[in-house]
Amino acid sequence: MTGGADPPQIAYSQWLHACKQAGWQGTPAAEPVAVRDALGRVTAAAVWARWSVPRFACAAMDGIAIAIAAVPPDAGETGPWRLAAGTFVPVDTGDPMPAGTDTVLIREHVTPGRDGSAQISGPARRGRHVRPPGEDIEAGELLLPAGHQLSPADLAAIAATGHSTVQAARRPVVAIIPTGDEIQPVGSALGPAGVVDSNSLMLAARADQIGAFPLVRDIQPDDRETIAAELRRAAVAADLVVIIAGSSAGRDDYTAAVIAEAGELAVSGVAVRPGRPALLGYARPGAGPGADPVPVIGIPGYPLAAAVTFELFAVPLLAALQGCPTPDRSWQEVRLGCDWDSPPGVEEWVPVALGAPDVAVARDVSCGDGALVAMPQRRGAGTISQLMRASAWWPIPIGQGHFAGGADIHVHPLPGGSGWR
Task: Looking at residues 218 to 277 of the shown chain, list those that interact with a second copy (rule: CB under 8 A).
Answer: 245, 248-253
Task: Specify the length of the chain in residues.
Answer: 421
Q: Does 104 bind a second copy (CB under 8 A)?
A: no
Q: Does 73 bind a second copy (CB under 8 A)?
A: no
Q: Does 308 bind a second copy (CB under 8 A)?
A: no
Binding residue (CB under 8 A) for a second copy from 13, 25, 78, 151: 151
Give me the 324-363 binding string for a second copy, x by CB under 8 A, dash otherwise. Answer: x--xxxxx--------------------------------
Q: Does 301 bind a second copy (CB under 8 A)?
A: yes
Asked whether 277 and 247 are in contact (CB, 8 A), the reply is yes
Distances (CA, A) of 239 to 150, 202, 300: 22, 19, 20
Q: Does 190 bind a second copy (CB under 8 A)?
A: yes
Considering only the stretches 167-175, 259-267, 393-401, 412-420, report the one whose residues sit in contact with a second copy under the rule CB under 8 A: 412-420
Subset of residues 361 to 380 that bind a second copy, contact rule: CB under 8 A: 380
Contacts of 328 (CB under 8 A, 6+ apart): none
Considering only the stretches 16-24, 75-83, 267-275, 297-305, report the one whose residues sit in contact with a second copy under the rule CB under 8 A: 297-305
* Count of CA atoms in the C-beta half-sphere (13 A) of 217: 27
Q: Does 182 bind a second copy (CB under 8 A)?
A: yes
Binding residue (CB under 8 A) for a second copy from 64, 104, 168, 202: 202
CB of 343 to a second copy, least distance (A): 16
CB of 205 to a second copy, least distance (A): 4
Q: Does 39 bind a second copy (CB under 8 A)?
A: yes
Our CB check for a second copy shows the closer of 78 and 164 to be 164
Binding residue (CB under 8 A) for a second copy from 6, 383, 398, 406: 383
Binding residue (CB under 8 A) for a second copy from 6, 31, 95, 102: 95
Q: Does 211 bind a second copy (CB under 8 A)?
A: yes
Binding residue (CB under 8 A) for a second copy from 24, 48, 51, 81: 51
As beta bridge partners, residue 165 has 34
Binding residue (CB under 8 A) for a second copy from 157, 166, 308, 367: 157
Dihedral-angle region of residue 345 (phi above 0 means left; psi in -120 to 50 means alpha; beta otherwise) = left
Q: What is the largest CA-CA distance in the chain?
A: 99
Our CB check for a second copy shows the closer of 236 and 388 to be 388
Our CB check for a second copy shows the closer of 75 and 201 to be 201
Q: What is the four-CA torsion angle of 235, 240, 241, 244, rounded to 10 degrees?
A: 180
Subset of residues 107 to 126 that bind a second copy, contact rule: CB under 8 A: 107
CB of 139 to a second copy, least distance (A): 12
The DSSP bridge pattern shows strands 58-59 and 130-131 to be antiparallel
Our CB check for a second copy shows the closer of 128 and 291 to be 128
Cα 387 to chain centroid distance, Å, stands at 20
Distances (CA, A) of 35 to 28, 51, 365: 19, 16, 49
Q: Vertex 141, ends 55 and 40: CA angle to 5°? A: 95
Binding residue (CB under 8 A) for a second copy from 46, 84, 85, 156: 156
Q: Does 147 bind a second copy (CB under 8 A)?
A: no
